[in-house]
Chains A and B, each alone.
Chain A
Amino acid sequence: MDDLFDPPGTEWTRVQPSLAVMRRVLLAVGVGVLAILVVVAALVVHLPVGLVVLVVVAAVGGWLWWLVGRNVANWGYAEREDELWVTKGAWVRRLVVVPYGRMQLVDVTVGPVERAFGLAAVQLHTASPATDARIPGLRPEEAARLRDRLTELGSAEQSGL
Chain B
Amino acid sequence: MSAEGPSGPVDPPPAADGDLRRLSPLTPLARSGIFLVVVVFAGGREVVQEGDLRIVLGLLVLVLLAGAVFGGLSWYRTFFRITADELRIDTGLLNRRSRRVRLDRILEIGVDQPLVARVLGLAELRIETATNESEVRLAYLSEADAHEVRRTLLARRDRARDEEEAAEPSTEAPARLLVRVPVSWQLVGVLLSPETIGLVVVVLVVVGLLIGGIPFGAFGVGVLSLLGAAVSLGRKASDWWDWTVSAVPSGLQVRHGLFGVSTRTFNVERLQGVRIVEPVLHRPFGLARLELSVAGGGVKESDEDSTGVALPVAPRHLVRRMAEDLIGARPGDLGRVATTLPPRRAGWLAPISRRWLGFGVSEDLVVGRSGWFARQTDVVPLARVQSFRATQGPLQRVLDVATVHADTPVGLVAVAGPHREPAQARRLVLEGADRARVARGGLGSRVTADTIERLSSETVRD
A interface residues with partner B (beta carbon < 8 Å):
1-6, 8, 82-83, 89, 91-99, 101-112, 115, 125-133, 147, 151, 154-155, 158-161
Q: Is B102 a contact of A4 with CB atoms below 8 Å?
A: no
Known: A107-B98, A109-B96, A147-B100. A101 touches B131 (CB 8 A): no
What is the interface size of chain B, counting residues whose CB is below 8 A from a CB of the partner? 58
Partner of B409, one of A108, A115, A128: A128
Residue of B nearest to A4 (CB): B422
Q: Check A155–B426 contact: CB distance below 8 A.
A: no
Contact B440 A99 (CB under 8 A): yes
Q: Are B97 and A109 in contact (CB under 8 A)?
A: yes
Which residue from A97, A111, A155, A158 sits with its C-beta under 8 Å from B387?
A: A97
Given A94-B390, A94-B391, A160-B445, decide whether A104 and B407 contact each other with a Cβ distance below 8 A. no
Task: Give Cα A89 to B105, complex, Å.
Answer: 31
Can you list 25 A-B pairs, Cβ within 8 angstroms, ordered by A?
Answer: A3-B426, A4-B390, A4-B423, A4-B425, A8-B430, A82-B437, A92-B394, A94-B392, A97-B387, A97-B388, A97-B433, A99-B387, A99-B436, A102-B387, A103-B102, A104-B130, A105-B100, A105-B102, A105-B136, A112-B94, A126-B387, A130-B389, A154-B102, A155-B102, A161-B295
Interface residues as binary, B370-398 with A (CB distance below 8 Å gives 1, 0 otherwise):
00000000000001101111111110010
Q: Please list the 3 inter-chain residue pairs (A to B) with the smallest Cβ-Cβ separation, ordered nearest first.
A: A127-B130, A128-B386, A128-B407
Inter-chain contact B86/A151, CB cutoff 8 Å: yes
Chain A positions within 8 Å of B131 at CB level: 104-105, 125-127, 129
Given A97-B388, A102-B386, A161-B270, answer yes or no on A92-B393 (Cβ-Cβ < 8 Å): yes
Residue-by-residue, is B233-244 near A (CB-CB < 8 Å gives 1, otherwise 0)? 000000000000
Which of A95, A97, A99, A161: most chain B Cβ within 10 A? A161
Q: How many A-B residue pairs have CB under 8 A?
A: 155
Given the known inter-chain contacts A4-B423, A105-B129, A131-B407, please indicate yes or no for A161 contacting B297, CB distance below 8 A: yes
CA gap between A155 and B84 in the complex, in Å: 12
| CB neighbours of A92 from chain B (8 A) | 391-394
Answer whether A125 and B133 are a contact pair too, CB < 8 Å, given A93-B392, A110-B96, A131-B386.
yes
B153 smallest CB distance to A (angstroms): 15
B386 and A127: CB pair below 8 A? yes
Told that A94-B390, A128-B387 touch, could you supply 12 new A-B pairs with CB distance under 8 A? A4-B422, A5-B390, A95-B391, A97-B429, A102-B387, A106-B99, A127-B130, A127-B295, A127-B297, A129-B131, A131-B387, A155-B102
What distance in Å separates the Cβ of A71 from its nearest Cβ neighbour in chain B?
Answer: 13
Q: Judging by beta carbons under 8 Å apart, are A99 and B429 in contact? A: no
Instruction: Fill in one digit per residue for B404-427: 1 if any A CB lies within 8 Å of its CB, else 0.
Output: 010111100010000000110110
- The CA of A105 and the CA of B104, in the complex, are separated in Å by 11
Are A4 and B426 in contact, with the CB atoms below 8 A?
yes
Q: Is the CB of B129 within 8 A of A96?
A: no
Min CB–CB distance A99 → chain B (angstroms): 6
When chains A and B are docked, how far (Å) is the Cα of A102 from the Cα of B272? 13
> Which residues on B sit within 8 Å (CB–CB) of A1?
423, 426
Chain A residues near B272: list those with CB within 8 A.
Answer: 161
CB distance from B167 to the nearest CB of A (A): 15
**Which residues of B in the span 95-145 have a Cβ within 8 Å of any Cβ on A?**
95-102, 104-105, 129-134, 136
